[in-house]
Amino acid sequence: AVAVKMLLPTLSRDEKVQERFRREARSVAALRHPNIIQIYDYGISDHGPYIVMEFARGQSLRQLLRSGALNIEMAVGLMEQICSAIASAHSAGIIHRDLKPDNIIIETHSDGSVHAKVLDFGIAKMREVHSEEADTNLTGANIIGSPAYMSPEQSMGLELDARSDVYALGIMLYEMLTGETPFGKAPAGAMLLRQINTPPQPVSQKRTEIPPALESVVMKSLAKDRDFRYSSATEFAKALRFALQDPEAAATQLAMENE
């Protein structure tokens, strides 16, 4: 079974946008990873750009989170899978830019195991091109993405690298562990300012049983200055697993890193 996604017809009216769409789709279609939705075909029809992709049987992470925070081990396990997908994309030179629970499909198998699939690599940028002019009014720069999950540098319209996706991963893990995002709800402009200026509340203030080492890893991923975040999704995932397997050693290591 496959799924067909139609993009905005307005994207087919500009030759530069068409070429950008083809380039992005070609790059994403080349990705092969068990935690990435596979793209089988893409093109531009009379009704606008389209993508033919793998059909994932499951619910979005957004739907799963409607029931509240996840079990700690489940949250970390899913994040490790998502990080693996993101790392694969980064190695191919693709930054997602729009990571959020809506773009993660969770498949539940008969044995109770769960499998994450990431959607909209690269293509997420194409879907938002139409709103760049409106978003420019918020910060004076072209902003593409979902404000509740955007890194400070993305909120300011700066050039992005892998660490911006790491920040979005941290936001999602925070939400998986607490049932809410670090900065609550607000209009887009106000949310961008919170991403830039407001420190997130520690995870343990929202869920007391979170191990201190795990909390430290989450908070490091949410550093306002990207130089103080994890440099890659792989590094972030390793730190998460270490925090669960050997919390005392992980806490000591993080304390040394922060000195």
Summarised one tens digit per residue, pLDDT across range 55-90 is: 988 999 999 999 999 999 999 999 999 999 999 999
Q: How far apart are alpha carbons 214 and 71 in whole angstroms?
A: 13
Q: Is residue 258 very low, low, confident or very high in pLDDT (cuts 50, 70, 90)?
A: low
CB 51 within 8 A of CB 42: yes
Q: CA-CA distances (angstroms) from residue 62 to 101, 122, 176, 257?
A: 5, 20, 10, 33
pLDDT value of position 194: 97
Averaged pLDDT of the chain: 86
Order of strands across the sheet that contains 39-45: 2-6, 48-54, 39-45
Instruction: Assess whether pLDDT exceeds 60 at residue 257.
Output: yes
Q: Is the dihedral of CA 213, 240, 191, 154 positive or negative?
A: positive
Q: How far apart are alpha carbons 115 and 119 in whole angstroms?
A: 13
Please identify every residue annotated as catalytic: 98
Q: What are 159-198's pLDDT values in tens digits?
A: 999 999 999 999 999 999 999 999 999 999 999 999 999 9
**For the ranges 41-45, 125-129, 177-181, 246-250, the one whose mean pLDDT is highest:** 177-181
Contacts of 30 (CB under 8 A, 6+ apart): 92
